[in-house]
Chains A and B, each alone.
Chain A
Amino acid sequence: MAKLSADIPKLVEHFGPSLSRIPAGGWADTREDDKLVKTHCCFCGQQCGIQLRVRENKIIGFEPWEDFPFNRGKLCPKGVKRYMQDEHPDRLKSPLQRVQDKGFVPVGWDAALDRVVSEIRRIQETYGKDSFAILTGASLTNEKAYLMGKFARVALQTANIDYNGRLCMVSAGTASKKVFGIDRSGNPWSDIVAADVILVAGANIAECAPITTDYIWRARDRGAKLIVIDPRMTPIARNADLYIPVRPGGDIGVFNGMLHVMIKRGWIDQDYISKHTIGFEEVARTVEKYTPEYAARIAGVPASMIVRAAELFGPAKTSFVMHARGIEHHSKGVENCIAMMSLALATGRLGREGCGYAMITGQGNGQGGREQGQKCDQLPGNRKIDDPEARRYIAGVWDVPESSIPGKGLSAVPLMEAIHSGKIKGLISICFNPVVSLPDANFTREALGKLEFYTAIDFFLSETAQHADIVLAGSLMEEDEGTTTNVEGRVIRHRKVVSPPEGAWEDWKILLELARRLGKGNKFDYAGPREIFDELRVASKGSVSDYYGMTWDRIDENNGLFWPCPSLDHPGTPRLYEDGKFGHPDGKAHFIPVEWRPSVEMPDEEYPIILTTGRVVSHFLSGTQTRRIGALVDQTSEPFCEMHPQLATKLGIADCDFVKVESRRGHVVVHAKVVKTIRPDTVFVPYHWPHDRSANNMTIRALDPQSEIPEFKICAVRVMKAERPIDPIAKLEVQAGGIR
């Protein structure tokens, strides 16, 4: 039974989100004898270096870490205030058990773990191994990601494990693998600075990867040109040399149109193409028909912009191509990425200083989280789970029969659908808040209600954990140690800054204890994360993402190491594809032709407006952490509906009016934000909030067939003026889903 155990206001009253506004110990000043611990931000994929200030085992502040090369002390507001999640009143400090109509009551660890284990046994014995699923997250350390994958395959022997990177990096990863043969940004960020032209598509860098702004601005100080493709004029687009306000879903029009012009004008590197790639002819044939005029109709922008983009990008000596969720969150996300990669490939501007390609990872361990085998189709080391050789090797590392390792399971959205249809009966989740982050939130809520047993490992009671039967009090990033792999492919170390509060456990310890009680203790015999990492190194040995040559000590000494790093004397590989060597067995990059096709749900008469969703700078993902930090909530307290004055006038809406944004699946009531910086055919709602304020009430459960990423970036809605909502949810505090 995973229905809510009490109504939402009651749960919010007990478990928050409430706001932390004052650090532990008050606004005390710094002291010389405070301990400063060098670690990394727990939030986005850039994993900025930061020093946390500790006094008496409490984190009371921070100090910039200027020597860390990636961010050199720079931080975004989330990084600055992240320390306020420590000593938080909402922090879970013991396991909880749901009591119908009462909410949750604290319960001892033994009782909680026994209950979880007995439910796992019961459900798997009754309905089969695969009826118990695991949902994990890409903000887990490499060690935990590895552990989760192994736990699923060895302890539970379920095929059904997937992670929330499915909502994040899978389109980029799939495309990168297909074209370059490796799933990683091709270059260290320092290469951005040396580029003469930078092409950014679908990446609100200023808000979602703020530190990257510094690299782009430094390139511009050298005279670099900046092209930004986005339906909204983002802060970095404002000063771009060219801003292309593409229609959501029209990106392939821009990319293919640019390539068309570049081929026509001779701005491609034939020599590089013939030496290091295959398949160009077919791509050239495909883009033949993408004249600027044809491309412009797809992209929904003037043809002159596409020509101008080609003129800026084509003849440049060096260039850097970057994309993020804006082009990836589509039912054609992989194709969007492939079309963009073709631009870099056709100019041969890859694998050298100032020449490269990058996908901007979103989550804390967006890169590492997808390499260690917690994806439904993967084993550690980015290995395919249906590759017999990979299975044999990993079975050896794990010391289990190869046949005991399950096959490919369901990815996140189909997994939720299987819960909804009753195929999956039990669930463990960690580091994932699908009620807020999966598309079609009403469906997700319904699905969770059908589970026979659900346990969540969490440090705060997230909106999803509210549905759990047992909640296991886990650990924050700074309460445990391990490694993550940042946006550049740099593996870095998170240090244990403080111990978890009395009554909460490190996540890995919870998993080990569950495994032991499931009779698999001998397969999970680690003294701590360092030993898990050492096994991970072996598991990744010889794979594409080879960590074998890395040790925690080496990582510390070098301010991080880039994979692949196959041996202990290997310096790591900051830049991939040097000398035109790619990851495919033939050593070449593979051009893949892509044609534009419409998105799954296009606007029509009934729902005439395009909804696109995204993030704001002061919140992270589903907001479980940032919606509990007062300063960040003050910065952006509520979601809003951004719309152009033309559209607003047509709909009779004024700035700050309440508006109802409604799709075929659900709606929100939020404030209108009337701005000229968005296309008039598109509205934007950020997605960090729950319940009636959740943008994912509207989004569509349509997937990219290759990556199975949901189409968050386009669905059809209608927008109308609304009355101030006065229901109990609306009356909640804003961070809990209320509205003011």
Chain B
Amino acid sequence: MNADVSQFAKAKGSDTVRATTWGLLATAALIGGIFIGSRGMRDFDPALVSYAGATLFAAFGLGYRFSMWLRRPPTRLYWYRGWQLFLTPGSFWKNLGHLFEIFLSNFVLQRFIERRSHMRWTAHWFLAWGCLMAGAITFPLSFGWIHFETGRSSQDIYRAFLFGIPVGQFPVHSVIAELAFNALDIAAVMVLIGVFSALWRRGRDHGAMAVQQFANDLMPLILLFAICVTGLFLTASTHLMNGLHYTFLSQLHAITVIITLVYLPFGKFFHVFQRPAQLGVDFYKRAGREGEQAVCIRCELPYGSRMQMDDLKRVQEALHIHYQLLDGTHYQDVCPKCRRRNLALMQDNMWKSTRIESERS
């Protein structure tokens, strides 16, 4: 299995050219998707064109960034290893089952965050699911993939179309309708709960305050806050204020969304695409545990998976990190504990030798 992975660690060709290509490909794919999904733009809502445009830019950015990221030797190796292990003949169904487990606990419930802190989990869960819900509605809407029409027979019936195909209808004054029309408001409230929980934590936790950065940690929260508030204002304007300042508000809302979409590939939100791409690490760790163990050349105790140590040597080579020791052994084959002990022994011995020498002289 190890025979041909060396190449994975080393990417060939110019990074930017490749990344640009991937970015353009992603954009083209999305344009194609919009065109086909909206039945040759028939279902496309021109009012939402700015959203779709920003999304196209985001698609380019994500493609570009994703490709650049995959050019990094360790990322690249893990990416291939993940697929390789996932697609191993004979364990595919087992792997699929495991993937479902990970999906449920890490994605749906986000248990791993809960273990870090409840407050962090609360914030993240509301943010994540609020955003996902909103995204699931607005992206297809702005792409013209779904649209609504009033019933031909009755003004009181709403019909929903997906890719131009009718998928259902419901009365205007029904619970379903209320839910459907206010789904974005519900999402906004969820996101706001998340934003406030996150801000509360970040404003009180001395440790978080020490390491957080404005651009990376606070900016995303501010953006989400702006989207939600302007979005909720739109609803308020419609239902409570007879459409007061509606046009202005909708433009304001559009601006906040567009800024966020443009920010998407470069800031903290990139992790939304990054993390799922690395679910393969779970298979890697499992294979590591079950496979051959590496034995430390200094203490002769096992300390990790042989596969990982060998892969690391490849990654290090690609990164021009040279751990080969002078006696022919490899520093990667020394366990972390022994590295620490060895350093201390060496340094202590320098002093001992100096003392002995000064005593002699």
Contact = CB atoms under 8 A, between A and B. Distances in A.
Interface of A: 29-31, 239, 241
B12 interface: no
Contacts of A31: 206
A241 B355 CA distance: 9
Contacts of B359: 241
A31 B351 CA distance: 43
B207 interface: yes
B4 interface: no
A30 B206 CA distance: 6
B348 to A, nearest CB: 8
A30 to B, nearest CB: 5
**Most central of A29, A30, A239, A241 by chain B CB within 10 Å:** A29
Contacts of B357: none
Nearest to B208: A29
Contacts of B207: 29
Interface in B343-361: 348, 351-352, 355, 359
B289 to A, nearest CB: 27
A241 B351 CA distance: 12
Given A29-B206, A239-B352, 9 more contacts: A29-B204, A29-B205, A29-B207, A30-B206, A31-B206, A239-B348, A239-B351, A241-B355, A241-B359
11 contacts: A29-B204, A29-B205, A29-B206, A29-B207, A30-B206, A31-B206, A239-B348, A239-B351, A239-B352, A241-B355, A241-B359
A312 B261 CA distance: 76
Contacts, number: 11
A667 to B, nearest CB: 35
B301 to A, nearest CB: 16
Interface in B309-361: 348, 351-352, 355, 359
Contacts of B204: 29
A241 B358 CA distance: 12
Interface in B195-211: 204-207
Interface of B is mostly: helix
Nearest 8 interchain pairs by C-beta: A29-B206, A30-B206, A29-B207, A29-B205, A31-B206, A29-B204, A241-B355, A239-B351
Contacts of A239: 348, 351-352
A705 B151 CA distance: 110
Contacts of A241: 355, 359
A209 to B, nearest CB: 23
A473 to B, nearest CB: 35
Contacts of B351: 239
B247 to A, nearest CB: 46
A31 B205 CA distance: 9
Nearest to B205: A29
Nearest to B210: A29
B314 to A, nearest CB: 39
B353 to A, nearest CB: 13
A351 B205 CA distance: 52
Contacts of A30: 206
Nearest to B351: A239
A49 B263 CA distance: 51
A241 B359 CA distance: 10
A239 B359 CA distance: 14
Nearest to A32: B206
A588 B355 CA distance: 40
Contacts of B355: 241
Which of B206, B351, B352 neighbours the largest number of chain A CB atoms within 10 Å of its CB?
A: B206
Nearest to A31: B206
A31 B348 CA distance: 40
A307 to B, nearest CB: 15
A701 B27 CA distance: 89
A384 to B, nearest CB: 48
Interface in B179-195: none
Interface string B9-26: 000000000000000000
A31 B206 CA distance: 7
A31 B359 CA distance: 52
Interface in B82-102: none
A30 B355 CA distance: 44
Nearest to B117: A27
Nearest to A30: B206
A349 to B, nearest CB: 23
A30 B204 CA distance: 9
Contacts of B348: 239
Nearest to B206: A29
Contacts of B205: 29
A35 to B, nearest CB: 16
Interface string B203-246: 01111000000000000000000000000000000000000000
A30 B207 CA distance: 9
A29 B204 CA distance: 8
A181 B355 CA distance: 40
A31 B203 CA distance: 11
Interface in B107-165: none
B175 to A, nearest CB: 42
A239 B350 CA distance: 12
A239 B347 CA distance: 13
A481 to B, nearest CB: 30
Contacts of B352: 239
A243 B355 CA distance: 15
